[in-house]
Amino acid sequence: MTERVLILDFGSQYTQLIARRLRELRVYCEIHPCTWAESAIRAFAPRAVVLSGGPASAFEEASPKLPPVVLELGVPVLGICYGEQALCAALGGRVEPGAVREFGRAEIELVRESPLFDGILRVGERATVWMSHGDKVTALPPGFHAVAASPASPFAAIADEARKLYGVQFHPEVAHTPIGKDLLANFCFRIARLSGDWSMAAFRSQAVAAIRARVGRGRVILGLSGGVDSAVAALLLHEAIGERLTCVFVDTGLLRLGEAREVVELFRGHFNVPLTVVEAGPRFLAALEGVVDPEEKRKRIGKLFVDIFEEEAQKLGPVDFLAQGTLYPDVIESVSFRGPSVTIKSHHNVGGLPERMRLALVEPLRELFKDEVRELGREMGLPEAFVGRHPFPGPGLAVRILGEVTAERVALLQRADAIFLEEIRAAGLYERIWQAFAVLLPVRSVGVMGDQRTYESACVLRAVTSEDGMTADVFPFEPAFLARVANRIVNEVRGINRVSYDVTSKPPGTIEWE
């Protein structure tokens, strides 16, 4: 991999978006903290460097500084927001608190031609951008000139064309800057002269070679959950090492209707991947008996999953590696300049493996974002219905059943959820929705159906849209659609007599949705 862009993280909430935008341009990039060692930066050998934004003030003594090695590399540099200010501060410019802060949309005007804006703006033309800063550059370093200005920022974009050093005060990586992707493309292709050859086909061959080099003649075990991450990891590993991979699929009894059968048929029947299936539904229900707290449910499910996984690993005999579907956002969080998260996101996974298993890790997807994993899945022949499947929580339906989990309540929720998803697909809406599911409430509702009074369960339907799974908004179904779904659930699922739709834009903490 010869074309690599280094993104130095100064703590911005948008840093991950920079990487996503560059990957969308087929440019391979990695995020590393601005404190990354000089030797590591040189070894990375980037073809260009992007400096992220950040919350600090560049004029303060304790603020993070631009590593001198970045300027010694002689490659193009683009500073974004704080990145521009850090670049100026390092080269003799001046950064001061702004008399007027700029947060939100602003308008810039191009005041001088630059390759950064080729094909985007001409001198005198304006564009809307997204600003998020209180400080600003008030004096440019030697060799720089202004390229664009806003009412509050005379140096909204700057350049030293001779050294290919650029800075923008706004955020081109966010969707609120319509010209942002074109600007990043100019930096990559016109200025850094990259070819944009990053592809899933290339990644596939490189990943297979890397797996073979790491595993050697060793054996690998992988927990196959039925989600797209573990599925793609399984296919990649199987291509690399064949029968020396064993996948363990634990049917917790808490999956969506028919999902266990689909996973087994696809991986054992179609792809011929070595697969051990553990029917453990009764064990999980027993572990959850009387438990109503969602976090306690997660902990119990996680512990039992680990116990079962360890039991199966011992049956296999000597195993050298554990494979995991770790994705790049998890890696980014662990190396962020602001430090790893102090909150364990227990809803993401069902638990870690005990140290006594002493297995080395293989993480073949750790360089990929979720959308890239889906693309790789398509590259490897996974059916679209599987690749595009909505995310499903590790603890399964247990955290979508509010209150106690019983076999009867699991069956109710499975049928209601299946009807909801079936109608969404029939309406052609599935791909427009990030995640949709039914939730069984811990209440019963009195109703009259025909000539009989009923006292049955109530359920809630939820559907959200999202670009990255970090924020979500309600999906605006037509009333006729919701009426049709509710009518089917009440008529076809004996035990539910009331259905409502959740219209909140942020998911409640008690309902698992990611």
The per-residue pLDDT for range 142-182, each reduced to its tens digit, is: 999 999 999 888 999 999 999 999 999 999 998 889 999 99
- For residue 470, what pLDDT band results from cuts at 50, 70 and 90? low
Nearest in space to 429 (alpha carbons), one of 464, 461, 459: 464
Q: Which CATH number fits domain 5-191: 1.10.3720.10, 1.10.530.10, 3.40.50.880, 3.30.1550.10?
A: 3.40.50.880
Report the pLDDT value the prediction gives residue 354, as an integer from 0 to 100.
57
Considering the domain 400-501 in this protein, what is its CATH number?
3.30.300.10
Report the pLDDT value the prediction gives residue 103, as an integer from 0 to 100.
82
Q: Is the dihedral of CA 379, 382, 384, 388 positive or negative?
A: negative
Question: Catalytic annotation on 238?
Answer: no
Tell me how far apart the alpha carbons of residues 301 and 379 are, in angstroms, rounded to a whole number.
33
Q: Name the 3-class secondary structure at 176.
A: coil
Report the pLDDT value the prediction gives residue 32, as an integer from 0 to 100.
92
Amino acid identity at 384: E
Tell me how far apart the alpha carbons of residues 89 and 172 are, in angstroms, rounded to a whole number.
21
- The predicted model gives 176-194 an average pLDDT of 96
Q: Is the pLDDT of residue 210 over 50?
A: yes
Question: Catalytic annotation on 81?
Answer: yes
Which residue in the list 3, 32, 34, 81 is annotated as catalytic? 81
Domain ranges of the chain: 5-191, 200-387, 400-501
- The predicted model gives 488-513 an average pLDDT of 73
CB atoms within 10 A of CB 73: 18
Q: Is the pLDDT of residue 2 over 90?
A: no
Q: Pull the structure tokens for residue 369.
A: 């974002």
Domains 200-387 and 400-501 fall in the same CATH topology: no
Tell me how far apart the alpha carbons of residues 171 and 475 are, in angstroms, rounded to a whole number.
28
The structure's pTM equals 0.76
Amino acid identity at 261: R
Please, what is the average pLDDT of the chain?
88
Q: Is the pLDDT of residue 464 over 60?
A: yes
Q: Pull the structure tokens for residue 247.
A: 């996948």
Between CA 225 and CA 229, with CA 226 as vertex, the angle to 5 degrees is 80
Contacts of 20 (CB under 8 A, 6+ apart): 173, 369, 468
Which residue in the list 171, 188, 238, 375 is annotated as catalytic? 171
* DSSP summary character for residue 234: H
Report the pLDDT value the prediction gives residue 334, as an integer from 0 to 100.
62
Report the pLDDT value the prediction gives residue 340, as an integer from 0 to 100.
38
Which residue in the list 3, 173, 312, 375 is annotated as catalytic? 173
**Residue 370 near residue 469, CB atoms below 8 Å:** yes
Exposed, middle or buried: residue 420 (CB in 10 Å: 0-12, 13-18, 19+)? buried
**Residue 36 near residue 7, CB atoms below 8 Å:** no
Tell me how far apart the alpha carbons of residues 468 and 286 are, in angstroms, rounded to a whole number.
35
Tell me how far apart the alpha carbons of residues 296 and 104 are, in angstroms, rounded to a whole number.
41
Between CA 287 and CA 296, with CA 293 as vertex, the angle to 5 degrees is 50
Amino acid identity at 460: V
Q: In what order do the strands lie in the sheet with 275-279?
A: 275-279, 245-251, 220-223, 321-323, 360-362
* Residue 135 vs residue 462, higher pLDDT: 462
**Residue 4 near residue 40, CB atoms below 8 Å:** no
* Residue 416 vs residue 99, higher pLDDT: 416
Is 3.40.50.620 the CATH number for 200-387? yes
Question: Catalytic annotation on 262?
Answer: no
Amino acid identity at 162: A
Q: Pull the structure tokens for residue 390.
A: 């909505």
pLDDT winner (highest mean) among 51-60, 70-79, 127-136, 494-503: 70-79
Report the pLDDT value the prediction gives residue 445, as an integer from 0 to 100.
80
